[in-house]
């Protein structure tokens, strides 16, 4: 599809969707058409549609929910499904994970250095 504009297809699609969101055609909370539908509508491959959605996702304009769909983000607030997309919870989980792993590493290090195998380079 597209071209002419010199812009890659996935950016054109992303721009179009972004315009629709900002223009109100796609209201906050409403789901975008499915990847397949968008691919048909824009006559593009699934891959470029996924790329386009990916751009909007990293921009924070939309939020993808596995199994359900991709929803337009409420400006400044969370979508009707405030699932575990919480950064704080994510961070906590990560920190917890790090703590456990650190403990293991420290343990290994303690037992291995006693017989002096300290083989730490770089």
What does the alpha-carbon distance between residue 45 and residue 38 come to, in Å, rounded to a whole number? 9
Tokens of 88: 């704080």
Binding mask 37-76 for a copy of itself (x = CB under 8 A): --------------x--xx--xxx----------------
Closest distance between a copy of itself and the C-beta of residue 99, in Å?
A: 6
Contacts of 92 (CB under 8 A, 6+ apart): none
Residue 62 bridge partners (DSSP): 72
Burial class from Cβ neighbours inside 10 Å (0-12, 13-18, 19+) for residue 72 reads buried
Specify the stretch interacting with DNA by CB under 7 A; choose among 19-27, 46-54, 95-103, 104-112.
46-54
Q: Which does 46 bind (CB under 5 to 8 A by kind): DNA, a copy of itself, none?
A: DNA
Question: For residues 85-104, which are near a copy of itself according to CB under 8 A?
Answer: 87-88, 91-95, 97-99, 101-102
């Amino acid at each position: 599809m597209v071209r002419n504009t010199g812009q890659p297809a996935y950016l054109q699609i992303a721009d179009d969707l972004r315009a629709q969101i900002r223009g109100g055609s796609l209201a906050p909370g409403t789901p975008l058409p499915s990847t397949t539908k968008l691919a048909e509508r824009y006559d593009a491959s699934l891959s470029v549609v996924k790329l386009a959605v990916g751009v909007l996702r990293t921009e924070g304009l939309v939020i993808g929910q596995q199994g359900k769909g991709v929803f337009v983000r409420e400006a400044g607030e969370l979508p009707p499904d405030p699932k575990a997309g919480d950064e704080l919870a994510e961070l906590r989980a990560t920190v917890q994970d790090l703590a456990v792993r650190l403990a293991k590493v420290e343990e290994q290090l303690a037992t291995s250095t006693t017989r002096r195998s300290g083989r730490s380079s770089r």
